[in-house]
Structure 1
């Protein structure tokens, strides 16, 4: 390894899947960085230790056994004479630490790789910032649990993919994942969105606000909804046009795009991720549902 001339093309999605959050920071593993920089993990960490004053804990720190288990990081460790693997706990590097590594290693490959990595960090921060209002309802306890126990890869996998989503099952606590897929579906609509959901509130509107400009929204909900006329007016002032209609004929929740593509949603949008539920694309169901809605 350590080949300056062997520059590689890095995939942004792959980089994001190797970034995870721990101790309140987004970091990358030493072994992943070594692969991208074209060196060995040992050489990378030795370069850090030779310049230890440049790497405070906010730039680089060593994981504990407990952190590896909680984050479900697959790391082969050499213990009690077992051949192979690594003999020490891994180091992780923050965005600032990665930039500092580049200045220490002085290779063309490290410089090229660090640019792609920095861009991935920026995109992740931009996504979280743009959706800050949507995540306000998640309690501080839930956020801390998500930061400690989950990687960010599933979040960006759903948002950035262009592949068709046919079916997805979410388990309790997968709040980021659930909202990310719902946002992806909402943003597919070019002209109209129809939501059938008996239990809507302002949180539902936070999701629908991610629609494209000019896309009309119609909600069919129970007469005793928590959504007020003021809520609807406030939404229309910023994201026109929303129309709310009232009916008791539906039990399940449906999201209809283009008046023909129908997604069955096992939970109200406002409760996405709180409990286990699924989202399923229903083939050839659009025309029948539209006929039923026309009679309400």
Structure 2
């Protein structure tokens, strides 16, 4: 089961600020064809608002194709732009696809999303700690540079304003 969760984690992409899965990856996991999955979704479209599912733009597909090798193979040879499903959309799919494999797979996918959310929560707390350390060190460096400027003023001899200037006279 742990291996399957790791496999699923590799199928989760960050698009438009959301963690999503491609329709064809989900179809593979559920053991159905992509066109069957999409047909079932279209028949029950009222269950899938834009927060649950959306269609990628051509630009997004091109960007993902450049970034991920696995993405290239998953959308190769498609006529239509792929749909992607958020965690809530994946949960809703279990009600649309009525099979034991779909239900078991859904449980594993939800566990993968939960695991990623926990990892991100830890990352955010680490980020907060680093930010506070950064603010503290910035203040310390500011004080150090002020002291160095003070020392430089003391050490550097002051030039008299009435001194003879060097250079060409106009």
What TM-score do the two structures reach when normalised by structure 1?
0.41
Equivalent residue in structure 1 for 2:16, among 23, 47, 59: 23
Which portions of structure 1, spanning 4 or more consecutive aligned residues, are displaced by more than 4 angstroms?
136-139, 225-228
Per the alignment, do residues 137 and 64 of structure 1 end up closer, same or farther by CA in structure 2, a change over 3 Å counting? farther
Q: Which has the higher helix share?
A: 2
- The 5 Å alignment of 1:1-296 reads 11-72=4-65, 73-74=71-72, 75-76=75-76, 85-136=77-128, 202-203=133-134
Q: Secondary structure at the match of 2:124?
A: coil
Per the alignment, do residues 137 and 94 of structure 1 end up closer, same or farther by CA in structure 2, a change over 3 Å counting? same
The higher relative CO (CA closer than 8 Å, separation ≥ 6) is in 2
Q: Which has the higher strand share?
A: 1
What TM-score do the two structures reach when normalised by structure 2?
0.69
Question: How far apart are 1:13 and its partner, in Å?
Answer: 1.4
Per the alignment, do residues 10 and 54 of structure 1 end up closer, same or farther by CA in structure 2, a change over 3 Å counting? farther
Question: How far apart are 1:130 and its partner, in Å?
Answer: 1.7
The whole-number CA distance in structure 2 between the counterparts of 1:106 and 1:90 is 22
- What RMSD in Å do the two structures reach over aligned CA positions? 2.7
Count of aligned positions:
132
**Structure having the higher Rg:** 2
Per the alignment, do residues 138 and 55 of structure 1 end up closer, same or farther by CA in structure 2, a change over 3 Å counting? farther
Structure 2 unpaired stretches of 5+: 66-70, 141-170
1:20–1:28: 8 Å Cα contact kept in structure 2? Answer: yes
The whole-number CA distance in structure 2 between the counterparts of 1:100 and 1:56 is 11
1:202–1:227: 8 Å Cα contact kept in structure 2? Answer: no
The whole-number CA distance in structure 2 between the counterparts of 1:227 and 1:93 is 45
Structure 1 unpaired stretches of 5+: 1-7, 77-84, 140-200, 204-224, 229-296
